[in-house]
Structure 1
């Protein structure tokens, strides 16, 4: 039971918390209820159907790979209810071994690997124990001996596994895909409604890691561009379909160029992020009209992209009529107070930049930043600008864009991430999901789209939820134990995860083709990789055969030396018969020829005393001396081999 539970543990940790707790609690309850005797078949059926219904309900009645993994865990949770004997226990362990492998469909991190290996090792040890019990041997081997047996099995297959990982030819693109997750991860999406990002702002998990080559931009310029939202229905901002299929908008770039590699964590979406503005689409990705990046397939695993970005001097300076109308549109009758204020500002100034500056000054003087905000009503911008005047980036960007559109200035919302945290150990930048941000872009004559971040205009004394309060590791258990400063521990653990991503998860077809570059071989094609893998596989199989043969040999060094001595005489036709005592065999050899035969008689007598006499002959010194004598002895060719002598042991 314990071994099966350890096998399922890494899978439960990757499921949504309510689902994992439900399945884990059900497993404990079923094991407790069926400890003395198995549950009735009808009770088992009702419990199984109830648990399956709960899993499907919590998964939203959709089927994805996380739903399939949850169903597997649920079936394993019910399996103890019908476990009666050794055969059932073996079935339970056999099915439980599927759980660690299913975990890798959801996560390929080092923690999942370590927990999975622990589960597999315990399951194999439990299977060895069941074999002893089934054979009627209750106390045949100790736990340490079983652990050693499992370790030898792992050592036996490790070379072949490493050869397959490093040398088996990899495909640049997969032959098939796996179902997407039913329950999407928290992250950026194609829509944004003020107040909906509370869960995202509380998610401290990594979103991307970035390593710069050469110049690093200041953190004030680290705006990681994601979805651009232009359509507004009065409540929700969404990506515009009008720009779908259009070529990237014209950009005049500054002389600054940032070269970097971004490592994007799985999101189950095609949306990518890049530092504003990407120069071109990396690899097989696509650059949209608004300079958004899209992957050709959902990002269901860790991906790595080499990019270049530079800030724009002009960005779509000529805005087409339909796109201009789309970025000025507002729902009829919405936010009347905001419309009235925008009309007054427009009557006071015809300069769009003056209106933008006036709005930013108003935010700087009267508004505050906080995560504690009520849900927005029908006129969200009116409530925020005139009543609450407190909120976070969703509220600021949405209300600001509505105000600009009401004043006749094309504007839109851009979402993504802002800033980052530099890990001094690995010299890379970590961007977390809690760094998600929304800002505005306004279209100004002669410049095109210009980034405006109204949230950044809030006066420092009016920021009630500071970045210091949310620095990495501050809210963790270790952070509280260390007085709120767990940055060193956080840096070390995240660096280990990044190194794992780089070494293992990032080992793709391109890196495999450059595997032997340090040896002067620039690139390996599929044929060479196949030959290398074949050579390594044959070597690994020979290693496995040698270890297996070694495991079969006699473990006692004295007996091993004695059998070696017998083989020497067998080559001369004087081998010992299987039922022939040592002294009888030695006398027969002595009768067959002179020379060291007398020495063989003495060795045989010493061996018989060691084998069958008292414990004094088993001292370490006596055993070593006997082993040395047996190894040194060499036979002389006989004058004639006696008939009927044994040819095998």
Structure 2
């Protein structure tokens, strides 16, 4: 049997509507990608769409296969040249975008239209590689609905189906799919981390870096992006204790601070608790990094993490998805003895680095016998000297420590922390830099706190006999308001900060914070719905079999229940139903049957009225009028609303006696 040739787009009577439906779906799916692909690819997409429309109306010829092949080669070369690779997130999305534009030019039949709808689905999924927030999810749902309608339109040769009928069919399909998707989402066994991952070069890398140099943290403070959100289980610690420990940086080469042995594990935490720990839950945004944050200092290990020798929480895999973890921290603690290796690392300085600072530190060592006095001398230098706290310090071109301490005297937290540690090491006081975040803004609802990239901070730790490692924040000496109220209160011109980092009360900022509250709910119950959250929810619902077999059994049972409910709903929707007129007639006949006047199956309304008149003359007038009115409404040329209301009133008032 021969297969019929597909109908060309130019001869398809439904082509205009099909082009409208598929074009709208592809435009909605591609629009977010236009923000991330090169401008010339956007131009290619627009030109391809215009060419396709012109070719459909005979204004331009369709491109030949040879031309399409050449364009494919040129676009692949262009994407490879722009990204220096054809792999990874950015290059992959750009290639998908380019191939969608080429498929537009190749579109000739309904089969090609179906392929375009599949490409639209892929473009919607590609956007989720960049963002999975609530607004993105709502937009993706809209794009998928429109694409599904376009797919239905492309798969049906029936061109008489209206757009309203098309979307009603799509809506019915989605309504049936939602409970199935909900059961799968809630009950499918969750694993720690994503089921798949992007290549390392494609993963987002944001937030605190694994090294610190002048200006590195100041750049973060120009971003109001959320680093993580926190829910405290009990009392919230005061601002002076909201130091979120990230990395410990001990190795200094004269300009950049780095960590020693970042993957070296410790068998236990490097401190002893003095008081009771504080409990809270962190929802960490994807960062592409391997370390987690906790109030100084962490006292528990989240899943798939370990602690290094400096009490830094490190993860086995990078944080490429929203991560929710419960954490305990010791706000009052005492660290243990300092080993010889740790002491050497905490005193090491490059031989040619910061000669003026080293000389000042050695002078303090000779004149001030107590290390605590040397710490106070450095803080007094910052507090009483002509130093400025600024996000826009002068560029340091020479020795970064000496130039900052003795010439520019203007800097941000990394300048003060780095210079302080150099002074302490020169004064024979073991010291190191700690990078993390300081502060947390209370959300309008009061249920959680927000830590932004603009809260990034660096401080120091010094080792003192009898106390161990002790936190010292040199920034507090020059700008104490930074600790209590945040960056916006410490700098001279808060307008350089982004809107959400200013801590103001403007209506736009408050509206954005309210929107953030919706995002929090979405994040905690959808994006961060991992094994721990799944176990909590199912236990709250009364299901305690949270192992893999128990979850699979629950999922199978849920799917069977949903299937039964959907089958019952389909039967109910397709059951034989009577219209309003028939319902009134049946009710009238039932009242007559109650007094012994049952209508025979073969009797029409007029024959029934004649028999009633013979058997019950007292009912002849009323029943005859009602049955005649019903017959005229049922079999007459047109039925008016007034006649239907009259029939309803007479049937309601008809009360026959036996």
TM-score tier, shorter chain, comes to: 0.7 to 0.9
State the partner residue of 2:220: 200
Q: Do 1:439 and 1:452's aligned partners in 2 also have CA atoms closer than 8 Å?
A: yes
Q: Which runs of 5+ in 2 are unaligned?
A: 1-22, 56-61, 482-488, 587-601, 613-624, 652-658
Q: CA deviation at 1:436?
A: 1.0
CA offsets, 1:533-560, max 9 Å, x none?
A: 3332123223333444566678994899
State the partner residue of 1:28: 46
Task: Identify the match of residue 531 of structure 2 among 492, 509, 515.
Answer: 509
State the partner residue of 1:643: none
Structure 2: how far apart are the matches of 1:556 and 1:32?
51
Structure 1: how far apart are the matches of 2:320 and 2:119?
26
Indicate the SS of the match to 2:347. Answer: coil
CA offsets, 1:323-379, max 9 Å, x none?
A: 222222222222222223323333332332222212211212321111113443241
Structure 2: how far apart are the matches of 1:157 and 1:183?
32
Q: Do 1:223 and 1:419's aligned partners in 2 also have CA atoms closer than 8 Å?
A: yes
Structure 2: how far apart are the matches of 1:222 and 1:215?
13
Q: Do 2:217 and 2:457's aligned partners in 1 also have CA atoms closer than 8 Å?
A: no
Q: CA deviation at 1:271?
A: 0.6
Structure 1: how far apart are the matches of 2:192 and 2:520?
23
Task: Identify the match of residue 37 of structure 2 among 11, 14, 19.
Answer: 19
Instruction: Tell whether 2:447 aligns with 1:407.
Output: no
Instruction: Tell whether 2:451 aligns with 1:424.
Output: no
Distance 1:25 1:359, change over 3 A: farther
State the partner residue of 1:338: 357
Q: Do 2:581 and 2:644's aligned partners in 1 also have CA atoms closer than 8 Å?
A: no
Structure 2: how far apart are the matches of 1:62 and 1:353?
57
Q: Do 1:180 and 1:268's aligned partners in 2 also have CA atoms closer than 8 Å?
A: no
State the partner residue of 1:535: 557
Q: Do 2:183 and 2:559's aligned partners in 1 also have CA atoms closer than 8 Å?
A: yes
State the partner residue of 2:162: 141
Instruction: Tell whether 2:400 aligns with 1:380.
Output: yes
Equivalent positions of 1:341-356 (< 5 A) are: 341-356=360-375
Q: CA deviation at 1:146?
A: 2.7
Q: Do 2:191 and 2:531's aligned partners in 1 also have CA atoms closer than 8 Å?
A: yes
CA offsets, 1:34-72, max 9 Å, x none?
A: 431344556545554455455455656383345434433
Q: Do 1:339 and 1:403's aligned partners in 2 also have CA atoms closer than 8 Å?
A: yes
Task: Identify the match of residue 319 of structure 2 among 289, 293, 299.
Answer: 299
Q: CA deviation at 1:219?
A: 0.9
Distance 1:266 1:295, change over 3 A: same
Indicate the SS of the match to 1:473. Answer: helix
Q: CA deviation at 1:268?
A: 1.8
Task: Identify the match of residue 127 of structure 1 among 144, 147, 151.
Answer: 151
Indicate the SS of the match to 1:317. Answer: coil
Indicate the SS of the match to 1:449. Answer: strand
Q: Do 1:234 and 1:378's aligned partners in 2 also have CA atoms closer than 8 Å?
A: no
State the partner residue of 1:238: 258
Q: CA deviation at 1:468?
A: 8.6
Indicate the SS of the match to 1:371. Answer: coil
Structure 2: how far apart are the matches of 1:398 and 1:21?
42
Q: Do 2:211 and 2:259's aligned partners in 1 also have CA atoms closer than 8 Å?
A: yes
Equivalent positions of 1:436-455 (< 5 A) are: 436-455=456-475
Task: Identify the match of residue 79 of structure 1 among 99, 103, 109.
Answer: 103
Distance 1:623 1:105, change over 3 A: farther
Structure 2: how far apart are the matches of 1:419 and 1:329?
31
Q: CA deviation at 1:508?
A: 2.9
Q: Do 1:30 and 1:81's aligned partners in 2 also have CA atoms closer than 8 Å?
A: yes
Q: Which runs of 5+ in 1 are unaligned?
A: 565-584, 596-601, 630-649
Q: CA deviation at 1:222?
A: 0.6
Q: CA deviation at 1:157?
A: 1.7
Distance 1:527 1:606, change over 3 A: farther
The range that moved more, 604-613 or 24-33, is: 604-613
Q: Do 2:425 and 2:431's aligned partners in 1 also have CA atoms closer than 8 Å?
A: yes
Structure 2: how far apart are the matches of 1:203 and 1:136?
52
Distance 1:81 1:382, change over 3 A: farther
Indicate the SS of the match to 2:247. Answer: strand
Indicate the SS of the match to 1:350. Answer: coil
Indicate the SS of the match to 2:182. Answer: helix
State the partner residue of 2:124: 100
Aligned residues: 594
Distance 1:156 1:606, change over 3 A: farther
Distance 1:555 1:475, change over 3 A: farther
Equivalent positions of 1:363-378 (< 5 A) are: 363-364=382-383, 365-378=385-398
State the partner residue of 1:499: 521
Equivalent positions of 1:198-347 (< 5 A) are: 198-241=218-261, 244-248=264-268, 250-318=270-338, 320-347=339-366
Q: CA deviation at 1:274?
A: 0.6
State the partner residue of 1:170: 189
State the partner residue of 1:464: 491
Q: CA deviation at 1:430?
A: 0.7
Equivalent positions of 1:552-571 (< 5 A) are: 557=579
Q: CA deviation at 1:201?
A: 1.9
CA offsets, 1:243-278, max 9 Å, x none?
A: 823444642333253221111111122210110011
Q: Do 2:88 and 2:199's aligned partners in 1 also have CA atoms closer than 8 Å?
A: yes
CA offsets, 1:150-171, max 9 Å, x none?
A: 21111122222222222x3414
Structure 1: how far apart are the matches of 2:330 and 2:479?
28
Q: CA deviation at 1:450?
A: 1.6
Distance 1:518 1:127, change over 3 A: closer
Distance 1:417 1:51, change over 3 A: farther
